[in-house]
Each structure stands twice: as structure tokens, then as C-alpha cells.
Amino acid sequence: MHFVYQAVLPSGQFVTHHAQAPSAKRLTEQLVEQNYQIVEMRVDWRRNLTEGFSKPRIKRPVLIDFFNYMRGMLELGMNVTTAITTVKDTLEDKVLLVALEQVEDLVNKGYGFGDALEQTDMFPGLTVASVKAAEKANRLEQVFLELANHYQNLDDLVRQAKKAATYPSIALVVLSGVFAMLLFVVIPQLADILPPDRPLITRVMIWMSEMAPYIWWIPFVTVGVIFFTIRSLTPAQKARIGERIYRLPVVGRVGLNLELSTVFMSLAMLNGGGIPLLETLRVASTVTSSLFIREKLNICRELAAQGSPLSEGFRDPIFPPVVLRAIAHGEATGRFDAQFAGIAKFLRERTANQLDLLSNFIEPVMIVFGGGMLMLMALGIFMPIYQNISNFGR
């Protein structure tokens, strides 16, 4: 979370600063360790609310095009500066153009290409670490190709996950719209003409229609409360929630495999580029969006730094058995990059198959659910009408 605090420095100077920390208690401890005398501290809600929108990031498809263009320019014999200028004249993404303006300026000032990418704070940590290592090994062309392939594989996997979620999302929106129209428009107009001896389902629908104008705001408030509650959680609390989600049947396992496949793609990319194992684990932990997986990777890195075998950290049951066996084999052969790549490929293909199965399973379930919901609504409306017509005929 972001905080604003006023404090007196050891020199006696009074300052007002912004700071980021897991909690106010932790920030207080850090400031006290520096001999700051805290006058006031409060949560910076504006920064907390706009954090996700204030830092521009280059989209994955744009990164793929960027690395393919850079590789092509270098293969033609251009230097990095000329290649950047050419890419600026070719691609039209505004965020990328702003970043490349900064990169070009820094490279002209003597910065390395990897350092310039890092200074913009717009490129993923995986990209920065890979390019820095490639500059030292003089293999930028190969790394640009590997980065393009890496982000292409990741993009394909994410697209497949979004595709699997598209149908149920659209179905839920349509069903919700139909349900709302019935509650707010159709049922109020029919309530007065329906017979008094109504079936149970009709009475329930009329009751829901009468209550809807008073409780329509509850779903929106609930979503808002959940959103702000999640934003206010500490990293440790978010990690615990992530663990529970990953342990859910079917959906949780698919989500876990999806995240792990991206993690091991990053590990293979980094270690294969010549980055030491411990640094590879550190960078990969910063790339993953899951705080729970990040916590597990940090444990693996700490154990490896203490001299334990790398496989020791991957004995956690959250990792599939193939991960432990593959890494143990990598320890025997001394080729972790090949094992990381093999694990990434296995998990990527497994995730793709699971997403196909999940998509094929969800579609008929949504059809049955939606059809059943509409059938109940139809029965609630037409049963009393039919009953009324039957009585009138007598």
C-alpha cells in the first residue's frame, strides 16, 4: 500500500514523503530503524486507487512485433541505435514510441540497451534481464528471437484462456439482462391480471419483482466492496487467497497450470540466456502475477542459496510431480535450461488441453442452466395464465 508521512529526520529537517509498504506498522518500523521521528502517517488512497492505471505497460502483441523487428534490423547489419530509429518509424503503438524515445536518448548517452530498457520502467523484468545477459554474451539477435517466441507462446495461451471464458461470460450477461427485464418490466405488468390462486413459482417471481427496485444496488456495492477489500490486502493475505483458489477442483488446477507454464517459460528463457540460476529464480519471481507462486519461488531460491538442491524447494505439493523429477534430472545433468524448457512445454500443452476440455464442458452446462432458468420463468408466467383461461372456459 501507499502511504504519506510527515517526519523529522535525524538532521532535524521536517519532511513530507510518500512510501510503499505492506502495512502501516511495517513502514513505521522501517522509519524508526532510520531514526525518523514520525509526526503523522496516513494511507494515500489516491495512489492506491490509481496504481493499476498510472504506470503504462507495453502490450504483449506489441512486444512480439518489437522483438521481431529488432531481430530483423540486426540481421541486416544495423546497430542498436539505427534499429531503434527504424522501429520507431514502423510501429505505431503510442506507449512503445514513448518508451523508445527514452531508450534512444539513453543509448546515445552511453547506457547499455538493457539498462535503457530498465530505466523506462515500461518493459517486463524478463525482457530487461534477458537483454542485459545477451549484451554481455554478444547474442542480441538470438535473444530477440527467443523473446518474440516466448511472448508469442504466452499470448497464444492467454488467448485460449480468454476464449474459454468468453462464452460463459456472454451467456451470463444475456441471462442477467433477460432476468432483469422480466423483473422490472414484464412481471409488474402481469401481476394485476394473474389469478389470485397463483403457483408457488409465480408468487416467488412476483415477490422478487417487488423487491428488485429496493435491492438492485446490492450486487454493485458487493462488487465494489470485494474490489477495494482485495486492493487493501497485504501480499501475504493475497498469497493465501491465491493458494485457496489454486486448490479448487478443475478451475483452480487449470489456473495453476496456466501460471506455472508461464513461470517455467520465463525460467527457461532466462537460464538459457546465460543468467545464473539464483538470479533466474529472482527475476522469474518478479515476472509472475501470482503472489502465491512468487512466494514459492522465493523459498526455492533461498533454499538453493543456502546450499540445498534446487529440487528441494520444488517438493512442495503445489508443483506437479513432473516438475520435481525433471529438476532432479537437471541437477544430475547440469542442464537446468533444457529441463525448464521441457517443463514449460509439458505444462503449456497440458493447460491447452485442459482449457479445451473446460470450454467443451462449460458450454453444455451453460445451455442447460440458461434453458432451465428460462423454462422456470416461462412456467411462472404462463401457468397462471393457462389456469385462468381454463377456468374462464368452464
Per-residue pLDDT of the chain (394 residues; tens, 9 = 90+): 678 888 888 888 888 887 777 678 878 888 888 888 888 888 887 766 655 545 667 888 999 999 999 999 999 888 888 999 888 888 888 889 988 998 988 888 888 898 899 888 888 888 888 888 888 888 888 889 988 998 898 888 888 888 878 888 888 888 888 888 888 888 888 777 777 777 888 888 888 888 888 888 888 899 889 888 877 777 777 778 888 888 888 778 888 888 888 888 888 888 887 888 888 888 888 878 788 888 889 999 999 999 888 888 898 888 888 888 999 888 888 788 888 889 988 988 888 888 888 878 887 888 888 888 888 878 877 777 777 677 665 5
Can 60-151 and 164-394 be said to share one CATH topology? yes
Backbone angles phi, psi at 9, to 5 degrees: -75, 165
pLDDT of residue 392: 60
Distance from chain centroid for Cα 384: 49
Architecture of domain 164-394: Up-down Bundle (1.20)
* CA 94 to centroid of chain Cα atoms: 23
* pLDDT of res. 64: 93
Q: For strand 37-43 and strand 2-8, is the pairing parallel, antiparallel, or unpaired? A: antiparallel
Where are the chain's structural domains?
A: 2-54, 60-151, 164-394
Sheet holding 2-8, edge to edge: 14-20, 2-8, 37-43
Q: Could you tell me if 380 and 202 are in contact, meaning their C-beta atoms sit under 8 angstroms apart?
A: yes
The x, y and z cell numbers of residue 94, run together, are 503510442
Distance between CA 130 and CA 317 in Å, rounded?
A: 30
How far apart, in whole angstroms, are the C-alpha atoms of residue 360 and residue 40? 56
Dist. CA 191–CA 183, nearest whole Å: 11
- CA Rg, the chain, in Å? 28
If DSSP states are collapsed to H, E and C, what string results for 96-107? HHHHHHHHHHHH
Cα 252 to Cα 244, 249, 319: the distances in Å are 8, 6, 13
Sorted by sequence, the CB contacts under 8 Å of residue 16 that are 6+ apart come out as 4, 5, 6
Q: Is the CATH number of domain 60-151 1.10.3470.10? A: no
pTM greater than 0.85:
no
